Amino acid sequence: MLGHVQRRKIALPETGMEIALLDWGGDGPLALLHHANGFCAGVWGLVAEPLSRHFRVIAMDARGHGDSSKPEGAEFYRWEQFGADVIGVAERLASEHPDGQIALGLGHSFGGTSILMAAAKRPELFARAVLVDPVVPPPDWASADPERQLRGNALAEGAKKRRIVWPSRAAAREKWTDKEMFAAWDPRALDLYVEYGMADRDDGQVELKCSGVVEATVFESSRGLDVYAIAQGASVPTRILWASGGQFPRIAFEQLAARMLDADVLDLDAGHLAVMEEPERVYQAVVDFAL
């Protein structure tokens, strides 16, 4: 489906990972995209395609996702490690581009948090950042908000129970169409997830590239992550897109932006999975800020 998109992998000796990339091309400055937990670079297609008119657009598969390395063990899925992978990829891509910098770091959900961690630590690598409904657990996540803790636990438990192997992509898509999680998705985004988020097996069946165990581990590893401390004094100009139909309170993003030197919050009429639900709105919000 993304026939003109180029695939490549970057080895990161500093983290021991091999990170898979999808490159939409484009002659402009670099844009580096990072997906939400459990998904893959390919689901950015409906945003990346028009964005390539303005940027050289490259999306990465996080470790444990898509075609990137899949180490075993919870110790490999601490959130700061995802931020380190973003830095490694950004360094490599920037070194290959005349600008020597990522003009736009664009991340969704935990991908937004990963972009934030990288930009806060290495601000010289990023000119701007857009975070689409990033995950911002409070520092005392485990005790401050019992209801939120229950939601987080439910997400992790649901991921562990997720069906991984299907007879075919068509069978998976047909079943997912009736699921609440996919109800608001643009059908084209679901096609991208089915195509690029699943791998062909030797027995003729297909399998999700991100296992439920990895997805659950990522959810669980967010506990105790102090994103507010990470963002304190961050200097990269940043726009945070708050999904009004999501589960994060707007004030959490306002407080996050207040800790940064140059950040604001913009409302986005979409659910948490905005990139797949309202890709045109996400695209417009990105270019309004980044161009």
- Token output for 260: 């940064």
State residue 142's pLDDT score: 41
Place 130 in a pLDDT band, splitting at 50, 70 and 90.
Answer: very high
The mean-pLDDT minimum among 6-15, 110-119, 141-150, 234-243 falls in 141-150
State residue 143's pLDDT score: 47
**Alpha carbon separation from 118 to 24, 40, 115, 207 (Å, rounded):** 22, 19, 5, 31
State residue 140's pLDDT score: 54
Average pLDDT, the chain: 93
CA–CA separation, 25 and 6 (whole Å): 8
Residue with tokens 């604001």: 264
**Alpha carbon separation from 176 to 36, 164, 172 (Å, rounded):** 18, 12, 6
Amino acid identity for residue 41 in this structure: A
135 Cβ partners below 8 Å, 6+ apart? Answer: 37, 109, 110, 112, 113, 222, 227, 248
CA–CA separation, 19 and 90 (whole Å): 11
More confident residue, 154 or 165: 165
**β-sheet bridge partners, residue 19:** 10
The percentage of residues in the chain with a pLDDT greater than 70, rounded to a whole number, is 93
Q: Is the pLDDT of residue 148 over 60?
A: no
**Alpha carbon separation from 130 to 99, 148, 199 (Å, rounded):** 19, 25, 30
Domains of the chain listed by start with CATH number: 6-139+226-290 (3.40.50.1820)
In the chain, what is the straight-line distance between the N-terminal and C-terminal CA atoms, in Å?
Answer: 28
State residue 4's pLDDT score: 84
pLDDT tens digits for 232-256? 999 999 999 999 999 899 999 999 9
pLDDT tens digits for 64-98? 999 999 999 999 999 999 999 999 999 999 999 99
Place 259 in a pLDDT band, splitting at 50, 70 and 90.
Answer: very high
Mean pLDDT of 252-267: 97
Closest of 36, 50, 51, 49 to residue 103, by C-alpha? 51
Mean pLDDT of 202-229: 93
